[in-house]
């Protein structure tokens, strides 16, 4: 004899709802959440093997609970990771200021030269306090400085901001410190200010030049053509011997940053830029 148990409709609905919720939750855990070892690597807390060792030693806390297993899934957007007493949280954007040294190319990868991304990575590994939850593979330099140009370079994963800063329509001012091979006369400075022929369709846009000494000045331009500053000085028969970017829009190079060093932008700097 078979006994049939009649499950009330309300209970059936509740059970279905429960199962759907569980399935959805598991789906989220599998698809959306990230393995803790992967997340820690992407946060640049260490290499895969370093991260595994940190986890094994119980040095990684997720929301105040020690996590030992590398395959533990975490919600990277809400997880508060504590490592050696410091807290790391997910942030959608990362903004770094670099004092670019000479000899490094403004690219994310390069077959023969060291790139600003290599330099950023080295800096972040040395100084883990500057970490964010952004994969370094998403970060790129905003605009280019020549290999021999030094100074302010912004690195971010914020494409919209980069576009705004680089768009020719926005006329974002960029100030450079320049040293020349010959004397920069008042006449030459005036020419640079009014616009010179650098072989483009139009003369360069108005610029501001401040003569600092016989062979040095600052120049502020609102364009960003290839080798623009060097070509502008060439147009007045001068060779640029040393070029350093001092500012870009509201962002000023931090005097405390030595060449090759990087730091995160402060909240105030980000707000002003954005
Ligand atoms: N202008 C140049 O000529 N070079 C740079 O790196 C930046 C501006």
- How far does the centroid of ligand 1 lie from the alpha carbon of residue 75, in Å? 42
Range of the domain at 183: 173-248
- Specify the range with the lowest mean pLDDT, choosing from 51-65, 72-86, 248-262: 72-86
Higher pLDDT, 2 or 119: 119
Distance 204 CA to ligand 1 centre (A): 14
The catalytic site residues sit at 146
Last residue of a domain, one of 50, 74, 90: 90
Residue 228 CB–ligand 1 contact under 6 Å: yes
Rounded to the nearest angstrom, the distance between the alpha carbon of 135 and the centre of ligand 1 is 29
Three-state SS for the chain is: CCCCCCCCHHHHHHHHHHHHHHHHHHHHHHHHCEEHHHHHHHCCCCCHHHHHHHHHCCCEEECCEECCCCCCEECCCCCCEEECCEEECCCCCCEEEEEECCCCECCCCCCCCCEHHHHHHHHHHHCHHHCCCCCHHHCEECCCCCCCCEEEEEEECCHHHHHHHHCHHHCCCEEEEEEECCCCCHHHHHHHHHCCCCCCCCCCCCCEEEEEECCEEEEEECCCCCCHHHHHHHHCCCCEEEEEEEEECCEECCCCCCCCCEEECCHHHHHHHC
Co-location of 179 and 227 in the same domain: yes
Count of domains in the chain?
3
From 90, 107, 136, give the residue that closes a domain.
90
> Which ligand 1 atom sits nearest the alpha carbon of residue 149?
6
Question: With a 6 A CB cut-off, is 230 part of the ligand 1 pocket?
Answer: yes
Residue 207 and residue 241 share a domain: yes
pLDDT on residue 31: 61
Top mutation candidate among 104, 144, 145 for ligand 1, by most atoms within 8 Å of CB: 145
List, for residues 10-62, the tens digit of each pLDDT value: 777 777 777 777 767 666 666 678 899 988 887 778 888 999 999 999 999 99
181 & 60 share domain:
no
């Amino acid at each position: 004899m078979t006994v049939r148990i009649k499950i009330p409709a309300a209970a059936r609905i509740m059970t279905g709802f429960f199962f759907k919720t569980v399935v959805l939750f598991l789906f989220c855990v599998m698809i959306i959440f990230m393995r803790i070892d992967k997340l820690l690597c992407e946060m640049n807390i260490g290499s895969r093997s370093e991260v595994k060792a940190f986890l094994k030693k119980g040095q990684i806390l997720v929301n105040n609970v020690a996590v030992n297993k590398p395959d533990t899934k975490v919600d990277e957007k809400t997880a508060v990771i504590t490592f050696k007493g410091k807290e790391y949280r997910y942030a959608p954007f990362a903004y770094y200021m670099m004092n670019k040294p000479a000899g490094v190319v403004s690219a994310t990868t390069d077959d023969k030269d060291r790139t600003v991304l290599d330099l950023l990575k080295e800096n972040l590994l040395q100084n883990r306090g500057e970490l964010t939850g952004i994969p370094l593979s998403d970060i790129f330099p905003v605009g280019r400085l020549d290999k021999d140009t030094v100074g302010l370079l912004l690195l971010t994963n914020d494409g919209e901001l980069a576009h705004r800063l680089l768009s020719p329509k926005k006329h974002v001012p960029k100030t450079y410190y320049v040293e020349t091979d010959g004397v920069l006369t008042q006449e030459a400075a005036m020419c640079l200010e009014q616009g010179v022929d650098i072989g483009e369709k139009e003369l360069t846009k108005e610029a501001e030049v401040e003569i600092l000494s016989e062979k040095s000045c600052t120049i502020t331009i609102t364009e960003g053509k290839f080798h623009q500053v060097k070509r502008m000085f060439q147009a007045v028969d001068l060779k640029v011997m040393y070029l350093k970017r001092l500012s870009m829009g509201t962002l000023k190079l931090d005097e405390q940053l030595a060449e090759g060093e990087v730091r995160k932008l402060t909240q105030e700097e980000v707000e002003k830029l954005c």
